[in-house]
């Protein structure tokens, strides 16, 4: 029976379908496709093995009904905008690639050998290609996929219901406002009057052994189906080195030195003798143009207080325009709170977000594009100021090295093997700090725990995700694109 006939049969069955895809009959797996009729069972077996071992990777979200697809919020934002076969194929291909990427870390943490991983990678690569060909060529399945391929909401609807969220919003807004006023008051103090809890140390990125002076411009890069520019690894590293911030840290103890997370017999710890900083590359959207983002992850040991966890963290994100120039900086505590905006270009801020949404917080206003230093408080590593590098007078200087964020997904275990820093639900185990009791009704899950990128929820009123593709646009108005000059 031809594939055309099978496609007609699937269309007839669509009316009886549930939420999952309509699966092709086994008889289509002949010739080149012989032996691929067991692929779904193989995926189910591997996923059960990963779940049993507790090594699932939460970087991307699994698409219900499609074990060979995973998605992030950026990719999901294009679901209703896809036009034509080229974009459709590119959208599906990228979901397949995200699944394959996550599985690589899961294989390693399962303890599979490199030979086993190679065989499994090849098998699932062909399985995903075959299943996508048979299942997603069907227009009904494709439309269902566009509706269901959405990341999970990181907020707890149950907590909001039990906590009577609509009635709790006034309290949430009051507490948020009080915290922001205290932060703004500290930012308004003259720089020389800032109290220091320790020796001021200036940490800067270690210069590359062979500096690359190549001028990077996204407008000249080859775009993909959605206009996202592609750069070489060397070009990305050039940008990552160029925009890595200097940290001006009030250093009271070794807990104020950036370090390397590690897994010990008693849990997660930070080795402050290794000054390593993780970074990741991502994309977002701002008006008609994509924007590029580099996020830096700084890790610290806990401050040793009885109720404090053994690890602390800070995120610093740089958003670049199509000319590879900074649009804005952001800071975020690794648990998801204390989200601050520092616009670099003269962006126009939107009107107040409204009563049911938490507005973006700008504690300092616009900052210069020049080399910058970020002042951090001793102990809790709170951001206190963003200043020109020349203004950061320090008693000590030191350097840190950059490492890919993905290295955190396969940290060595003391007993052998490896495990991710993050649990399958996207949390750093044992990192829960003392959660203020007023937070739980907001629906933010584990508000004091450090989280994997893609699981941060910086708003306690409304819903907002740090990796949301239109987060920048929710705070600032995209600049108008000039109209083309009339001919003539």
Tens of pLDDT, residues 331-355:
999 999 999 999 999 999 998 778 8
- When pLDDT is cut at 50, 70 and 90, the band that residue 24 belongs to is confident
- The reply to whether the predicted model has a pTM over 0.85 is yes
Burial of 411 from C-beta contacts in 10 A (0-12 / 13-18 / 19+): middle
Quote the pLDDT of residue 10. Answer: 38
Quote the pLDDT of residue 113. Answer: 97
| pLDDT over threshold 90, residue 3 | no
CB 474 within 8 A of CB 360: yes
Side-chain half-sphere CA neighbours of 121 within 13 A: 18
Separation CA 299–CA 420 (nearest Å): 15
Instruction: Give me the mean pLDDT over the 434-462 stretch.
Output: 89
CB 467 within 8 A of CB 453: yes
Quote the pLDDT of residue 2. Answer: 43
Instruction: Give me the mean pLDDT over the 362-389 stretch.
Output: 91
pLDDT tens-place string over residues 53-87:
999 999 999 999 999 999 999 999 999 999 899 99
pLDDT tens-place string over residues 129-147:
999 999 998 899 999 999 9
Mean pLDDT over each residue of the chain, to the nearest integer: 90
Quote the pLDDT of residue 22. Answer: 85
- When pLDDT is cut at 50, 70 and 90, the band that residue 482 belongs to is very low
pLDDT tens-place string over residues 179-225:
999 999 999 999 989 988 889 999 999 988 766 666 788 988 888 99
Instruction: Give me the mean pLDDT over the 474-480 stretch.
Output: 89
Q: Which of 179, 460, 424, 246 is nearest to 335 (CA)?
A: 460
With a CB cutoff of 8 Å and minimum separation 6, the contacts of 224 are 90, 230
């Amino acid at each position: 029976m031809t594939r055309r006939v099978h496609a007609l049969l699937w269309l007839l069955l669509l009316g009886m379908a549930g939420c999952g895809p309509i699966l092709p009959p086994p008889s289509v797996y002949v010739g080149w496709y012989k032996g691929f009729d067991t692929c779904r069972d193989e995926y189910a077996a591997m996923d059960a093995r990963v779940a049993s071992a507790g090594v699932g990777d939460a970087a991307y979200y699994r698409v219900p009904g499609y074990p060979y697809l995973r998605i992030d919020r950026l990719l999901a934002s294009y679901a209703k905008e896809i036009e034509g076969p080229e974009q459709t194929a590119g959208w599906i291909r990228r979901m397949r690639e995200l699944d394959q990427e996550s599985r690589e870390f899961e294989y390693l943490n399962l303890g599979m050998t490199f030979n086993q991983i190679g065989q499994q990678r090849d098998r699932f690569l062909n399985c995903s290609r075959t299943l996508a060909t048979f299942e997603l060529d069907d227009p009904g399945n494709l439309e269902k996929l566009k509706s269901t391929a959405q990341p999970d909401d990181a907020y707890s609807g149950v907590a909001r219901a039990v906590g009577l969220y609509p009635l709790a919003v006034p309290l949430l807004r009051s507490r948020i406002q009080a915290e922001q006023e205290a932060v703004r008051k500290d930012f308004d103090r003259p720089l020389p009057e800032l109290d220091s809890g320790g020796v001021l140390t200036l940490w800067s990125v270690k210069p590359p052994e062979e500096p690359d002076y190549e001028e990077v411009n996204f407008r000249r890069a080859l775009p993909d189906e959605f206009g996202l520019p592609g750069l070489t690894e060397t070009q990305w590293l050039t940008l990552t080195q160029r925009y890595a911030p200097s940290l001006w840290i009030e250093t009271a103890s070794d807990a104020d030195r950036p370090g390397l997370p590690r897994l010990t017999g008693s849990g997660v710890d930070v080795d402050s003798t290794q000054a390593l900083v993780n970074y990741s590359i991502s994309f977002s959207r701002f008006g008609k143009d994509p924007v590029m983002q580099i996020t830096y992850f700084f890790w610290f040991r806990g401050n040793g207080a009885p109720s404090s966890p053994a690890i602390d963290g800070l995120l610093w994100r740089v958003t670049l325009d199509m000319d590879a120039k900074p649009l804005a900086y952001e800071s975020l505590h690794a648990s998801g709170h204390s989200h601050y905006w520092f616009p670099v270009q003269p962006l126009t801020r939107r009107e107040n977000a409204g009563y049911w949404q938490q507005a973006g917080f700008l504690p300092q206003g616009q900052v210069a594009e020049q080399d910058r230093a970020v002042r951090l408080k001793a102990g809790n590593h709170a951001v206190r100021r963003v200043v020109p590098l020349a203004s950061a007078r320090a008693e000590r200087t030191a350097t840190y090295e950059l490492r890919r964020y993905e290295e955190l997904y396969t940290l060595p275990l003391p007993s052998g093997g490896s495990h991710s820093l993050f649990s399958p639900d996207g949390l750093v185990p044992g990192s829960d700090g003392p959660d203020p009791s007023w937070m739980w009704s907001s629906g933010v899950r584990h508000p004091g725990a450090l989280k994997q990128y893609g699981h941060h929820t910086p708003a306690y009123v409304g819903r907002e995700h740090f990796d949301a593709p239109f987060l920048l646009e929710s705070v600032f108005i995209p600049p108008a694109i000039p109209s083309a000059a009339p001919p003539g």
